[in-house]
């Protein structure tokens, strides 16, 4: 087993034991690049992405890049699997379907995820992103992940 895999698996156990999904995010450089944070809220994990200039897609509005919203939701879904399910490798994304409902304004964005079904090999996760209130989502995603 490689060192990186060993570090990942130890961190996963530690993160679950300490109820700290942020520790899993810290292992993934992409989360730092777009600025995603996670914290426990009630029984769920709440994902947050603060605004930053490198996430802008349209500078004249300004609006968050559609790809960043996709990346944020895909990352949140993967963390949800790593944190809530008994999986000890980074899940492989198979497909990802994203509906944009409202423009992503240049401010903090939140997301939460639901594991809709877990099979032996495949997991289906839905993720929703919002800014002002969870009643007015800006994007919703469905994705399939392969797990070992």
At residue 25's C-alpha, the angle toward residues 124 and 14, to 5°, is 95
Minimum CB distance to other proteins smaller for 42 or for 95:
95
Minimum CB distance to other proteins smaller for 42 or for 108:
108
Q: Per CB under 8 A, which region of 38-46, 67-75, 119-127, 130-138 contacts other proteins? A: 67-75
By three-state DSSP, how is residue 50 classified?
coil
Among 23, 27, 48, 126, binds other proteins (CB under 8 A): 27
Of the candidates 147, 72, 67, the one whose C-alpha atom is nearest the C-alpha of residue 115 is 147
Residues near 104 by Cβ (< 8 Å), separated by ≥ 6?
57, 63, 64, 66, 68, 69, 129, 131, 138, 139
Q: Per CB under 8 A, which region of 13-21, 38-46, 53-61, 113-121 contacts other proteins? A: 53-61
Q: Which stretches of the chain bind other proteins, using CB under 8 A? A: 2, 4-5, 7-8, 27-30, 32-34, 53-59, 62, 65-68, 70-72, 74-75, 78, 89-90, 92-100, 103
């Amino acid at each position: 087993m490689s060192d990186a895999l060993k570090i990942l698996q130890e961190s996963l156990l530690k993160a679950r034991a300490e109820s700290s999904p942020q520790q899993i995010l810290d292992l993934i450089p992409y989360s730092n690049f777009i600025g995603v944070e996670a914290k426990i809220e009630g029984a769920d994990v709440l994902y947050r992405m603060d605004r930053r200039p490198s996430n802008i897609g349209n500078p004249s509005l300004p609006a968050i890049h559609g790809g960043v919203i996709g990346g944020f939701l895909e990352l949140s879904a993967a963390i949800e699997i790593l944190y809530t399910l008994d999986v000890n490798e980074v899940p492989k994304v198979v497909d990802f379907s994203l509906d944009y409902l409202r423009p992503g304004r240049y401010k903090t964005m939140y997301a939460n995820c639901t594991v809709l079904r877990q099979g032996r090999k495949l997991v289906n996760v839905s993720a929703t992103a919002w800014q002002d209130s969870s009643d007015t989502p800006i994007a919703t995603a469905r994705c399939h992940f392969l797990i070992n």
